[in-house]
Every structure is written in C-alpha cells, then in structure tokens.
Amino acid sequence: MDNKRPSSSYFQAVLAVAWKDLAAELRSRELLSAMLVFALLVILIFNFSLELDKEARENVTAGVLWTTFAFAGTLGLNRSMAVEKDRGCLDGLLLAPVDRSAIYFGKAISNLAFMLLVEIIVLPVYSILYTSVSTMRLFTPAFLGVTLLGSIGYVAVGTLLASMAVQSRTRDVMLPILLFPVIVPVLVASVQASRAILQALEMSEVMAWVNLLIVYDVIFIALAFMVFDYVVEE
C-alpha cells in the first residue's frame, strides 16, 4: 500500500475480479441454478407453511420475499468464496499486486450480480403464482430500488463474513450464524419499506426505511473496506 498506483488500475482490478466470477458462472451456471432452485423451493415451502391465501398474501409478501432472498443469498455467498478457497484461487488472488480491497469489491460486485439475477427471476414467478393487486406493484421503480439497496447492504456484509467463514473449520454452517444477527437492520428496513410500497402507503413511510438502508449500506461498505485486509491476511 506504500507505493501509490494510478486509480484506473484499481478499478481495473475490481472489474477483473468481478468479471472472472461472472465469466466462470456464465460457463458453468452452477451457482445461479442452485440459488434459483433453492429460492423457488423456499417459496414453495412458504406456500404450505403459511397458507398464502388472498388475505395473508397482502401482509406477508414482503417478508416471504426477503426471507427467500436472504436464504438463497447465503447459499451463493458461501459457494462463491468456497470455490476460491478450495482450488487455491484465493492465494493466487492475494499474490496479485493490487490493493486487497479491490478483491473485496470485485467479489462483492459479482455476488451482488448473482443475487440481483435471482431476484429478477423470483419476482415475476412470485407474482404469477400469487396474483393480487399488491403483487402488481412488485415492478414499480420504488420496489426495485428498495430491493437493490437491501441487496447491496446484504452483500457488503455477506462478502466480508463469507471470506471469514470459509477459513474456519465449520465453514458450511458458519456463514448464516455470523451473518443473520448483524444483518437484522437490513432485513427489518427492507421488509418494512417493501410492505409499505406493496400496500401503497404514503411515500414518507417508505422514506424513513430507505434512509436507514442507505445509512447501513454506507457504514458497512466503509467498514468492510477498512477491515478486509485483516480477514485475508496470511
């Protein structure tokens, strides 16, 4: 970190790491298909466990969707880091002459891309399976914006914790245990904002939660940027 590199090479490194993941995924489609099938299964289970009839749907749609995203998200985060660890790719990445936070941002961007892809497919499927007045609002810019903000916060913390979890002995079970207690604000704010949008409440009710999401995103991206070095240090 002593010798300053031009900033353009930093962004190139970030994009290179992200592109590496996306290209590998484009060829194998392992991760995305697993996340998608899992997400659809979670929705299926909710259908039986909550009896999503017309009235129930109006109230729980936001909660069901965010629970699904959170569960499918851990699957993706775990896998994307486990691949790096298993084949020794992480060591290779760490040897690269770039600032290590570039690796973090690259991984975070590819994880975010996977998560958004899953969400983009799950939302229409959900609205077809559970047609109602409120599910028509799943595709308003406000709802998609909240989904994006929530996903950013989730992935920002998730990528950092996943890189810790894969280095521990009990790595497969570690990530959700580490992630869920610290992600509560994101889930609360996302669910509340989504619900307010779906029930067509006033914009001021939504904005309080959106502000909270923005604050969370900024704080935790900055924090992850500062501490990622300590997580991958050998």
Partner 1 sequence: MSSQPRTLQILNFVSGLLLAAAAWMSLGYAPTERVMGAVQRVFYFHVATAWVGMLGFIVAAVAGVIFLVTGNLKWDKIGLAAVEISLAFFFIAIVLGSIWARPIWGTWWTWEPRLTTAAILEMVYLAYLLLRQGVEDPERRARFGAVYTLLGGISVPVTFVSIRLFRTIHPVVIMGGNPNAQGGFSMETSMLQTMLFCIFAFSVIFVTLFWHRLRLGDLAEKVEQLKLKLIQ
Q: Which of 119, 115, 138 has its CA nearest to residue 57? A: 138
* 206 lines the binding site for partner 1 (CB under 8 A): no
Binds partner 1 by CB under 8 A, chosen from 66, 90, 216, 217:
216
End-to-end, the C-alpha distance of the chain in Å comes to: 16
CB of 212 to partner 1, least distance (A): 6
* 146 lines the binding site for partner 1 (CB under 8 A): no
CB 76 within 8 A of CB 35: yes
* 215 lines the binding site for partner 1 (CB under 8 A): yes
DSSP assignment letter at 138:
G
Instruction: In whole angstroms, give the CA distance from residue 184 to residue 97.
Output: 36
* 208 lines the binding site for partner 1 (CB under 8 A): yes
CB 187 within 8 A of CB 212: no
- Rank residues 125 and 227 by Cβ distance to partner 1 and give the closer one: 227
- Rank residues 48 and 230 by Cβ distance to partner 1 and give the closer one: 230
CB of 16 to partner 1, least distance (A): 25
In 3-state terms, what secondary structure has residue 202? coil
For partner 1, the binding residues in 149-188 under the rule CB under 8 A are 157, 160-161, 164, 167-171, 174, 177-178, 180-185, 188
Outline where the chain has alpha helix (H).
Answer: 7-28, 30-50, 54-86, 89-95, 100-129, 141-165, 171-198, 203-232
* 196 lines the binding site for partner 1 (CB under 8 A): no
Instruction: List residues near partner 1 by CB under 8 A.
Output: 157, 160-161, 164, 167-171, 174, 177-178, 180-185, 188-189, 192, 208-209, 212, 215-216, 219-220, 223, 227, 230-231, 233
